[in-house]
Amino acid sequence: MKAILGDEDENGVGLRIIDNNEASHGIHVGFDGEVTYHEQDGYPDDPDKRTSEENEHVNQARRYAKYYVFAQRGYDTVEHIENPAYVDAVRRAIADLSPAEFKRYFGALYRQLRSHHDDTERPRELPSGVRKPDAVVYEPEIYLGLEVVGEDVVERAQALATAHGFDLEESTEVQPVSELSNETLSRWKAFGDDLAAIVTREDLTTDLTITGVSGLHIGYPNRLGKHEVDEADSPFTHQADARLSLLPYAPESFDEFPAYLDHHLRCQVRDCFLKMGVVPPEEFHVVGFGKFRDSRRYDHFEMYPEVHKRDGNHTPLLG
């Protein structure tokens, strides 16, 4: 994939993309990530007249255009859970958690996964529509925040917390979302959204850390064979920075779970690049299950390697 930035106007950024078939795409990406214009010379204009792989090449060009604008101009044009920069930031932030913090955030997820293999008590019952318990996918969302902020932001955050009825210095204990009352959860959501509105990450010298993990969203095939997600509570209403996509398995030892999540998120970063038609950086040349929907993409299109399968076709990374 190749990209050349064009002019920027009041609505977004124009650019030229040359895809992996050498087809040329003229694309305009809005500042919010919406593709507002797309013309190309390599495939039929009518999507219904394209092959499925031709449509995928067109979609790759659009994904790459949005990511290229993010990478070169800094606009928030890619949904965070599909952006390799955000997903990898979550991976690195998890690696920086203390053992106690990791257990607070991911202990319930570990117990839920182990409940499929032993008599561990299940933190969340499976939805009534689940027909095969081992065919579910666990999709909790993870939120990043600021670990170190300037004094002015600290003062504003404390004042905002007081207005919402919290004292940020009162306790550092992390409570799972499932243990919060509806009233407290509502106030935390309002506080988080208001704080996000006043903090500009780019203007601060900061380290990113994990500030919240949602309840256990559970995906499963419904009676029509489509992937349905039964959502749990979430600590914020703004977009998450990563969403796990875990099959019902976890290592027997909880001590191995951090490395297991690290590998899973490396696979997700890999997937973010591959579906843009780009070979991922070398540290993400890994084999394993990343994003659920991307594993289906690899099964469907011959243009992708079967990197989600241990015994699949892994070379070349892009065909």
pLDDT, tens digit (0-9, with 9 covering 90-100), for 96-151:
999 999 999 999 999 999 999 999 999 999 999 999 999 999 999 999 986 644 55
Task: State whether 28 and 154 are in the same domain.
Answer: no
> 232 phi and psi, to 5 degrees?
-105, -175
User: Among 60, 78, 96, where does a domain finish?
Assistant: 78
Domain count, the chain: 2
Q: Which domain holds residue 104?
A: 81-261
Query: 140 is written with which tokens?
Result: 């909790």
Structural domain includes residue 230: yes
Instruction: Give the chain's residues under pLDDT 50.
Output: 148-149, 171-174, 200-205, 319
- The Cα–Cα gap between 52 and 264 comes to 28
Task: State whether 199 and 65 are in the same domain.
Answer: no
pLDDT of residue 223: 84
Residue 74 one-letter amino acid: G
Structural domain includes residue 225: yes
Task: State whether 30 and 87 are in the same domain.
Answer: no
Stated pTM of the model: 0.80
Q: Are 64 and 276 in contact (CB under 8 A)?
A: yes
User: Among 212, 228, 261, where does a domain finish?
Assistant: 261
Structural domain includes residue 305: no
pLDDT of residue 296: 84
Task: State whether 98 and 137 are in the same domain.
Answer: yes
Task: State whether 150 and 242 are in the same domain.
Answer: yes
Structural domain includes residue 296: no
Give the C-alpha distances (Å, rounded to integers) separating 255 from 100, 192, 229: 12, 31, 29
pLDDT of residue 186: 62
Helix (H/G/I), strand (E/B), else coil: 146: strand
